[in-house]
Amino acid sequence: MKFNPYIVGLTLIAVLVMFGQNAAVKSLMSIDGELSQSDLLSISEHTNQSLPLMVDPDTRLDETLVEENTFVYRYTVTKYNADELTSSNFASLIQEDLASAYCEAEETKQFYESGVLLKYEYTDCCGKLAAVVVISPSDCDDS
């Protein structure tokens, strides 16, 4: 099994644009330009109205939620089990592309500038947690 991490990174951008998160972020953002906990909850609620959604042939975005200062995306990889995802180093393959998208994309700029972490949780076709990737502003400083 071969994953294309470039596609996964593009999937992130496509999902953000598709749900109008950029517009939602800008319209909900506090006057000082920072995203508050309330802003994040509103963005999650707005996004969840369109879920679940297949974002590529193998991946379904099931829900988003907020855990303190972290915006969480919960995905299901529909055609693979956790052992296949773990053995293929799935998390390490997508880490760099997700970090690049977080650090460079206009759609995620307000998350980055507000210090919000993005957490991606992937479960397998049977509901077993297969991978977790967390991206933070410090990932942008390392590039």
* CATH code, domain carrying 53: 3.30.300.250
pLDDT of residue 64: 93
Separation between Cα atoms, residue 69 and residue 137, nearest integer Å: 12
Average pLDDT over residues 92-120: 86
Which two structure tokens, joined as six digits, stand for 73?
A: 């995306």
pLDDT in tens, 57-105: 888 999 999 999 999 999 999 988 888 888 678 888 888 888 888 888 8
> How many folded domains does the chain comprise?
1
Cβ neighbours, 10 Å, residue 141:
8
Separation between Cα atoms, residue 90 and residue 131, nearest integer Å: 7
Q: Which domain holds residue 86?
A: 5-141
pLDDT of residue 32: 56
Q: Which of 17-21, 26-30, 85-89, 101-105 has the highest mean pLDDT?
A: 101-105
Rounded to 5 degrees, what are φ and ψ at 87?
-70, -25
Nearest in space to 139 (alpha carbons), one of 124, 109, 120, 117? 117
